[in-house]
A = this chain, B = another copy of it.
Amino acid sequence: MSLKVRLNKSPKPPQTCLLTECMSVISGAWAPNVIWSLRSGPRRFNELRIDIPPISAKVLSARLTELTERGVIVRNVLPTSPPSVEYQLTELGQELIPALDAIVHVGYKLKDKGYIE
């Protein structure tokens, strides 16, 4: 009997270059939208859920945690009676805005020429 160990996953992660690493920050599902929503100021958890229509709480939570760990946003617990939490971009996070802007800029052109949507 052959053991036939199928080792599909590459042992080493796919070449952790800077581009790939940083892309991972903004390419989790909805991550760009979260950043985008925060561009104009702090937002609360449920505000974000409404801003970004069909995002599930789980994923929003995951992204917020992740982005927080990456130093892109900060979590701010407000001492109100129904406890509320604010998120906002850090200085570092704000630097992502131009990047997203550039992407959206290209997005317009892609749309114009009918390549997307």
The reply to whether A115 and B52 contact each other, CB–CB distance below 8 Å, is no
Query: Chain A interface residue count: which class?
Result: 35 or more
The reply to whether B92 and A19 contact each other, CB–CB distance below 8 Å, is no
Q: Is A110 an interface residue (CB 8 A)?
A: yes
Number of copies: 2
How distant is A31 from chain B, measured CB to nearest CB, in Å?
A: 9
In the assembled complex, 6 residue pairs joining A and B whose CB atoms fall closer than 8 Å, in A order, are A18-B107, A18-B117, A19-B103, A21-B110, A21-B111, A92-B115
Give residues in A with beta carbon < 8 Å to B: 10, 12, 14-23, 25-27, 29-30, 32-33, 36, 52-55, 69-71, 92, 95-96, 98-100, 102-111, 113, 115-117
